[in-house]
Amino acid sequence: MRAKQNEARAAAFQPKLKPVSDSDEGDAVRDPADNPHPTWLDRVKDAAAPEPSGDPLWTPEPVAPSDAVWDPTDTVEPAPTGTDGVEPAAEPFAADPDPGDLPETAGAALEENVGLSVRRLRKAAVELAVRDAEVDLPTTDTAGRAESEEELRDRAVSLFHNWQARERSRLNSLVAELEGRVTRTLGGIRLDNDRFERVTGELFRLQKRWEMNRTVVETTLEEETGQEEETGAATRQFKSHWYALAIGFLGIVEFLANAPVFGALLPRDPLTEQQIRYVAETSEGWLAGGMRVVSQFILRPDAALLAAGVVTFLIVLAHFFGHSVRSLLMHSSARRTGETLGKRSAGEFVVPMVLSGVGLILVLGVLFEARVTLGEVAADRFVQDSAKIEEFRRTASWLRVDGNLVAANEQANRADDLEALAKEQREYATSMSSLSFPILLLNTTLVLVAISAAYFHMWDRRRDRFNDSPFERQRREFVDLGDATQQRVVDAMGEAVRTIRDLASLLSERPLREAPALASQLEATIVAYRAENGRLRGLDTREIKAFSEPVELRLVVEEQDMRDLLMRDPEEYEAERRDLHENFEKIRARFTEEATAW
Amino acid sequence: MVIRKLAALGVAVGALMVAGCGTQEGNAAAGEGEGGVLKRSPPQLVIFVYDRSTSISHHQLELARQLTNARIRKLNHGDRIAAHQLLQLSLEEPPQRWSETVPQRQFAEQAMMRDSVTRVRFLQDAQDFLVAFTDTTGRGSIDGTDILSTLHDVSADLRAAPGREGTLYIFSDMLQSNRSIDMEGLRRMPDAGWVEREQANGTLPDLSGLCIYVVGARVDTNQSQHVKDFWQEYFEVTGAVFETHNYTLRPVDLPEHPCT
């Protein structure tokens, strides 16, 4: 595996043998999917490549405008500048108008593939050899290098130097990019460690606040509970005796407000009216008013019972309605807090609440309709009573003429009684009918009061306790935040390890070791020029003095230690990473302890 | 604590109830009812006898009407009122009489507004009804004045109302004038033993206890004194209570209890 990787790495610096298009020359970064066997350089490029989700960590320096201008002296056509950034379609090598020309500018040289340049140089050497052979150059007796060979030598040296400079520049960029990434990653880890420590501290303080508040609340609740147990008071907000008193008073008020209506609606008995009048006239003292009121109900038991029944309906319905509402709310509260009692469902409280609510509406509606109808009934009755009154008075007149004064008086009394009663009933009915809506509001208010009383009278089995939900919610938020920070630190730590390793690997390699091979290839182009020239001229190259000089180009590699390019040694990065990891582990242990201590 | 509060509340309510009961005097002073328990007096029987003969002047009948109304207004619940127009000649004539009892109180011990209204209305009706007994018109057909026969009807009223304090108010000049006795100008006066003789025969009415009060009889002449003497003897024999000062001509008002 290791050998395979080394081979792949070496292949990265070898000229490609197959014809490639110009567009392929600029592919500094290859799609890993296209290369199933990435070399170390590919991995370095991948590491240095900008992350897809964020801003690019490194972008190549843009080509200067002067570099993009095609120089007619250049033997290689510069890469066309795409307006939309898309590389132009690759042209076949055969279509190149002057494939033997060499890029003379440094910018053009940087754009070329090394192998392609050597091949082109070799092709240019052959062409120069053909051209010189046609004119029989160099002459056999002329010493010194031929002009064409000198040009080839210059081009070869230039190509070599360009290649060397480009490699150094590329390596510098890669190293700088990796260092920047390591620095940013380690800085991010440091920030996340700080954040993680703050979260852990907040978690610790939250626990202390929770303990303090819980202690205070529970102490207070214990004191209150002790007082309730001493006094024997039940956990009702509205005690039973006060509830009974309030409901009783409400019932009396409701009864007094509605009983006369039923008394006016039901058929009347003259004797009853007489008895009521007697009580009204005979009642004395401070209790006279009460006696008169009570006599109305005692002497009209039908109306009183009907009114009492309606009031009972109202009170009972309001009682069940208030209890159902309270039970429903308590049930909902218990469901939220997880204190669900037994197998009771909300429907058990909803059904009686709805039924009692409908009952209340019906009863209030009946009372309202009764008062509205009372006006019409009283008007009809008054007409009938007026006829009776007229009859009584007519009879009394005849009796009076006959001297039967007692009978006349009786008739007159009946007429007066009936008239007074009819007028009273009509006035009462009229006032009641006009006061229907206000009395409806009064009845509604009384019902609401009864509902409220029943609501607060409901036995509350719940006990007050310390509410730790806000603290629990904050704790979960802190734990989630801490977990997210941990995950981020762990990911960044892995990224840092990989980047540091890549940086170290990059520095351990010697990318310029291919320089001798390249030099040999370049020297071979000179040899090819000489050989082709001699062959075309039918001469032995040794017969040509100009070719007697050795081809050696003296291409020297300027070796430099790659570590000079670094800001810091990878070991320092690794040491810093280890420190951060140790610090992270300490914080993580403390965080785990704080998160699980509740 | 709760028991103490309830006890205090009970005491307060009890005190309020006791204070609310009040007293009769207090209630009367406060204007409640009509003063509480009624001061009861024995029921009365008031009988009015009217003489509409032509010998009675208009103003005398008018005076009789006024005095009647005034006396009627003093009647109380349970009092009985009776009115007679003097017969003209004998008991054979159909009497013109009327009697009613003032309606009783609904509750004897309790004054009620309704009773008052009934009483007032009845008394007003009675006054209106008795106007016919003092009517000054249509007296031309009256042929005589038979006081003695009318007193038999009065006696019947008296017997029909036992236990009552009876008072007879006679609006007349007390001059009996029929076929057997004509006191006008003393033309045919009964003889001296007539009263005893009639008493012995049992033809006199029983007027026991009936207080007699005469309005319209003159006492300023010898003839009138003679007539008065006759009636005094007659009422004494019949058991009525007759006092001299109750034999008047034009009294200012009718006393409620003339014989006491």
Tokens representing A116? 């392609």
Contacts of residue A398 in chain B, CB cutoff 8 Å?
A: none
Encoding tokens for residue A484? 């997210």
B19/A286 CB distance under 8 A:
yes
Q: Which stretch, A1-5, A139-143, A303-307, has highest mean pLDDT?
A: A303-307
Task: Choose one of A417, A435, A462: the last residue of a domain.
Answer: A462
Residue A325 has pLDDT above 60, yes or no: yes
Co-location of A70 and A188 in the same domain: yes
Q: Is the pLDDT of residue A523 over 50?
A: yes
**Structure tokens given for B219:** 């006492």
Instruction: Give the tens place of pLDDT for each residue, A400-413.
Output: 988 899 899 889 98
Q: Which residue of B has its CA nearest to A404?
A: B100
Q: Flag the least confident range among A143-152, A271-280, A387-396, A570-579.
A: A271-280
Pick the residue from chain B with its C-alpha nearest to A409: B122
Q: Which of A278, A284, A409 has the CB atom closest to B27's CB atom?
A: A284
Residues A497 and A427 grouped into a single domain: no
Within a domain: A219? no
Q: Which domain holds residue A552?
A: 2-202+479-596
A406 vs B2, B100, B114: nearest CB:
B100
- As to burial, measured by CB atoms within 10 angstroms (0-12 exposed, 13-18 middle, 19+ buried), residue A146 is buried
Contact B129 A403 (CB under 8 A): yes
* Residue A20 CB partners (closer than 8 Å, separation 6+): A90, A93, A113, A116
- Residue A276 tokens read as 């009521």
Mean pLDDT, residues A24-33: 41
Q: Is A418 found in the same domain as A538?
A: no
pLDDT, tens digit (0-9, with 9 covering 90-100), for B15-64 = 544 444 444 444 433 333 444 556 667 899 999 999 999 989 999 999 99
Q: How much is the average pLDDT of A185-211?
A: 93
Token digits of residue B174: 């007390």
Is A399:A415 a contact under the CB 8 Å cutoff? no
Residue B70: which pLDDT band, with cuts at 50, 70 and 90?
A: very high
Which residues of chain A lie closer than 8 angstroms to B122, CB-CB?
405-406, 409
> Does A236 lie at the interface with B, CB-CB under 8 angstroms?
no
Q: Are A113 and A14 in contact (CB under 8 A)?
A: no
Give the pLDDT confidence score for residue A438 in this predicted structure: 86
Answer yes or no: is A375 within a domain. yes
Is A30 a residue whose pLDDT tops 60? no
Tell me: pLDDT of A104 over 50: no
Q: Which residues contact A366 (CB under 8 A, 6 or more apart)?
A: A310
| Rounded mean pLDDT, B87-107 | 90
Report the domain count for chain A.
2
State residue A96's pLDDT score: 42
Residue A409 lies in a domain: yes
The first and second tokens of residue A240, run together, are 């039973």
Q: Is the pLDDT of residue A9 over 60?
A: no
Range ranked top by mean pLDDT from A96-105, A267-276, B72-81: B72-81
- A 372-401 residues with CB < 8 A to B: 400
How distant is the Cα of A288 from the closest Cα of chain B, in angstroms? 8
Helix (H, G, I), strand (E, B) or coil at A552: coil
Is residue A456 located within the same domain as residue A520? no
CATH of domain B44-248: 3.40.50
Q: How many CA atoms lie within 13 A of A113 on its CB side?
A: 21
**A271 touching chain B per CB within 8 A:** no
Unique residue bearing structure tokens 């110009």? A22
- The 10s digit of each residue's pLDDT in B125-181 is 999 999 999 998 888 888 899 999 999 999 999 999 988 999 999 999 999 998 889
Cis peptide before B251 (omega within 30 of 0): no
Whole-number average pLDDT of chain A? 76
Lowest-confidence region among A544-548, B73-77, B177-181? A544-548
Are residues B198 and B78 in contact, defined by beta-carbon separation less than 8 angstroms? no
Minimal-distance CA residue of chain B relative to A279: B112
CA distance B258 to A12: 163
Same domain, A103 and A184: yes
| A251 and A191 belong to one structural domain | no
| Residue A487 parent element (H or E) | helix A469-508
Q: Are residues A528 and A458 in the same domain?
A: no
| Interface contact flag, A285 B21, Cβ < 8 Å | yes
Q: In this predicted complex, what is the ipTM?
A: 0.78
The pTM assigned to this predicted structure is 0.52
Where do runs of H (alpha helix) occur along chain B? 2-21, 24-29, 58-72, 113-130, 147-160, 194-201, 222-238
Are the beta carbons of A378 and A429 closer than 8 angstroms? yes
Inter-chain CB proximity B98 and A284 less than 8 Å: no
Asked whether residue A410 is assigned to any structural domain, the reply reads yes
Indicate if A575 and A429 belong to the same structural domain.
no
- Reported as a single tens digit per residue, the pLDDT across B204-254 is 999 999 999 999 999 999 999 999 999 999 999 999 999 999 999 999 999
Is-contact A173 A483, C-beta < 8 A?
no
Q: Give residue limits of the domains in chain B.
A: 44-248
Q: What is the DSSP letter of B110?
A: B
For tokens 């007409």, name the residue.
Answer: A383
Q: Residue range A163-172: average pLDDT?
A: 82
Q: Does B20 touch chain A (CB under 8 A)?
A: yes
Q: Which residue of A has its CA nearest to B29?
A: A285
Task: Please give the pLDDT value at position A395.
Answer: 94
In this prediction, residue A166 carries a pLDDT of 84
Domain co-membership, A495 together with A434? no
Query: Residue B242 forms beta bridges with which residues?
Result: B212
pLDDT for A289:
84
Mean pLDDT to the nearest integer, B51-80: 93
- Give A497-520 pLDDT, tens digit per residue: 999 998 888 877 776 777 888 888
- For residue A400, CA distances in Å to A404, A405, A412, B128 come to 5, 5, 10, 9
Query: A403, B100: Cβ pair inside 8 Å?
Result: yes
- Domain boundary, last residue among A414, A435, A462: A462
User: Model confidence at A76, in pLDDT bands (50, 70, 90)?
Assistant: very low
Do A334 and A458 fall within a single domain? yes
Nearest to A284 among B33, B107, B126 (CB): B33
Note whether A289 and A389 are same-domain residues: yes
Residues A332 and A363 in one domain: yes
